[in-house]
Chain A
Amino acid sequence: MLHDLFDGYTRSILVFTGVNVLAAYSFYLPFKTGQVSLGQAGFMAIGAYASAVLTQKFGVPFAAALPVAAVVAGMMGVLVGFPALRIKGIYLLLLTLGFAEIVQVITLSWDFVGGAQGFRQIPFIPSILEYVVALIIVLVLFFARLERSSLGRAMDAVHQDETAAEVMGLDVVRIKLLAFGLGAAIAGLAGALYAHHATYIDSNSFNIMVGVEILMFVIIGGSSTYWGPLLGAGFLTLLPEFLRTLRDWLELVPVAWTDFFPMNRVYDFLHDALDFENAKRLIVYGIIIMVMMILRPDGLLTRDSLRRLTMPRGA
């Protein structure tokens, strides 16, 4: 259905953007209770490898393997979540970073899943874009519901002050573990979807930088509302593509407009500056991230800006 709407390249971009959105939500859920994880890439890897093994080695259909991947990653999440209960702040960042590194070392050295050669010939699923879009819609509805539910409010309470939440009778351990485990399960889904689109994964597919980027999606999008992860992941994933498109637009300018003295220099300069094939594009990306944290340290979208959007007359 969606498959025929786009050419292969656009479809790929959309799938990877969607996977990043899911990954951003996997970070956002534990973050709602104040748990900051740099290790979501590790859970993505677990989901990806689980689904790849089930479909390719045991012939399980993808539709059955996908939920299993989420469950496996979610159980891992609860396992990691237990020790994570004891620590906070930079220590939790480092713990989850260490977890992701351990997953990477294991996938690198375990021959059953391809080891250093990587996992090849994972069944390609043509309808992956439908899965991605459907899951994003489900998650947005889930978070919209969560915002108004007692569980969501309990999570906010835990985020703001754990001791106070505990005194009020909230089961802090259960809430934090639930958020961490569910977040890991969402990451597992994202990983599995990635694997069945890329058809090849190796230990480097889910390295530390992937986990770091996921954190960036949420903080840049804005972590105070559930639209933030969607916006951040969408914006940052499509930004390089947008920079590329800018150059294509520039090339549409009629030659007659630009082949006399000052304009030809301007054209060449712009064309050269927008020639974002490799490193340059990422340099611009990095600069934009830095500028963004100076100008909007709370992210692109905050509760206030959302209110202003929905109530235009400053009510």
Chain B
Amino acid sequence: MIYQQLINGLMLGASYSLIAIGYTLIFGVLNLLYFAHGEVFMVGAFVGLYLVVYGGANIYVALAGAAIACAALGIVAFYVSVRPVPKDRPLAPLISTIGLTIVLQNLAVYIFGGQQVAFPETIRQELYHVGPVTISSVQIFILVVAVAAMGGLWLFIERTKLGRAIRATAENHETAALLGVDVNRVVLVTFVIGSGIAGIAGVLDGVKNSGISPFMGLGAAVKGLVVMLLGGLGNVVGAMVGGLMLGLIEILSAAYIGTTERDLFSFLILILILLYRPTGLFGTRTAE
């Protein structure tokens, strides 16, 4: 029973991690609470759905397509809601990304309708029994994709020149620029990567829940924020671990305490972290 819950918790947490990565990357380099990220996740799910239903694509093509489409959306989002807004007013970029959230959500309602849409079965459901644990092919697929995406991102951030530039920019804008980092390009790259990963998360969410709706973004956005904070603002590895932790906490509290209390726990954790460890569990830097 407990092992089964652990698996479920990791499943839930993996999607939280993928969303939080984008938040924390963007927060890291821009110090900006980018509100529209949850809607990018939602758009990813719908792109995946369309590719499968109308394009006849298999799930791998759908994942790649959603990642590319969301990366492109990330660039558009940056140029319409972040770049043109003056940065010296802390709330203006937040408001403009809220505007973008409203536009994307209602565009989706306009195009796809306000109801939940069934996500087609793309992976044959098979159950494997390993000792006391039952794990399905869908669960294995989601975990593998999520781990692969996170591992790839980690290698990129830690081992490549561009990854180092991102870390430098997150540390300090001015210093990075002085050392020859093209800060504008770095910011754009973080939007591309964060949005692409959110797109993958959206498709995985469709596969897992077998249904998606234009309103799925807001809840995901809020959970992504909690995870970002849990891992420490701007800390990518923290977001990955924090997501898995939140998933485990939610599933375990739902299983042993009650389903309605599940959300209560995640927000109580949010508040406790804010009050006692505002740098997150693994974070080192603080935001102004």
Which residues of chain A have a CB within 8 Å of any CB of chain B? 36, 83, 86-91, 93-95, 97-99, 101-102, 105-106, 108-109, 208-209, 212, 215-216, 219-220, 278-280, 282-283, 285-290, 292-294, 297-298
Contact = CB atoms under 8 A, between A and B. Distances in A.
Contacts of A99: 267, 271
B126 interface: no
Nearest to A108: B260
Interface string B93-127: 11110111111111101100010000000000000
A237 to B, nearest CB: 14
11 contacts: A90-B33, A93-B33, A94-B270, A95-B270, A106-B264, A283-B110, A286-B99, A286-B102, A290-B96, A293-B96, A297-B92
Of A89, A280, A286, A289, most buried by chain B (CB within 10 Å of CB) is A286
B81 to A, nearest CB: 6
B92 A208 contact: no
B274 A298 contact: no
Nearest to B111: A279
Place the interface of chain B in its size category. Answer: 35 or more
A278 B109 contact: yes
Contact of A285 (B35, B85, B102, B263): B102
Contacts of B104: 286
B110 A289 contact: no
Given A105-B261, A109-B261, A290-B96, 10 more contacts: A91-B274, A94-B226, A95-B275, A97-B222, A101-B222, A102-B264, A105-B267, A282-B106, A286-B100, A297-B86
Contacts of B229: 94
Nearest to A99: B271
B106 A87 contact: no
A83 B102 contact: no
Contacts of A95: 270-271, 274-275
A285 B264 CA distance: 32
Nearest to B27: A90
The 8 closest A-B pairs by CB, nearest first: A289-B99, A286-B102, A286-B103, A109-B260, A290-B99, A293-B96, A279-B110, A282-B106
A206 to B, nearest CB: 14
A115 to B, nearest CB: 9
A209 B215 CA distance: 12
Contact of B225 (A36, A97, A286, A288): A97
Nearest to B87: A297
A88 B218 CA distance: 23
Nearest to B104: A286
Contacts of B100: 286, 290
Given A105-B260, A290-B81, A293-B95, A87 B109 contact: no
Contacts of A220: 95
Contact of A98 (B91, B96, B101, B267): B267
Nearest to B219: A208
A98 B271 contact: yes
Contacts of B91: 36, 215, 219
A298 to B, nearest CB: 7
A89 B218 contact: no
A96 B113 CA distance: 32
A38 B261 CA distance: 22
Interface in B126-154: none
Of B80, B90, B102, B271, most buried by chain A (CB within 10 Å of CB) is B102
A286 B233 CA distance: 28
Nearest to A36: B91
B144 to A, nearest CB: 32
Nearest to A291: B99
A34 to B, nearest CB: 10
Nearest to A287: B103
Interface of B: 27, 33, 35, 80-81, 84-86, 89-96, 98-107, 109-110, 114, 218, 222, 225-226, 229, 233, 260-261, 263-264, 267-268, 270-271, 274-275, 278, 287-288
Nearest to A216: B95
A279 B107 contact: yes
A151 B106 CA distance: 43
Contacts of A216: 95, 98
A98 B274 contact: yes
Contacts of A285: 102
Contacts of B85: 293-294, 297
B106 A283 contact: yes
Contacts of B106: 279-280, 282-283, 286
A150 B114 CA distance: 51
B89 to A, nearest CB: 5
Contacts of A94: 225-226, 229, 270, 274
A8 B229 CA distance: 46
Contacts of B101: 286
Given A97-B225, A290-B96, A208 B218 contact: yes
B90 to A, nearest CB: 7
A102 B267 contact: yes
A99 B272 CA distance: 11
Contact of A105 (B98, B105, B263): B263
Of B100, B229, B267, most buried by chain A (CB within 10 Å of CB) is B267
Contacts of A208: 218, 222
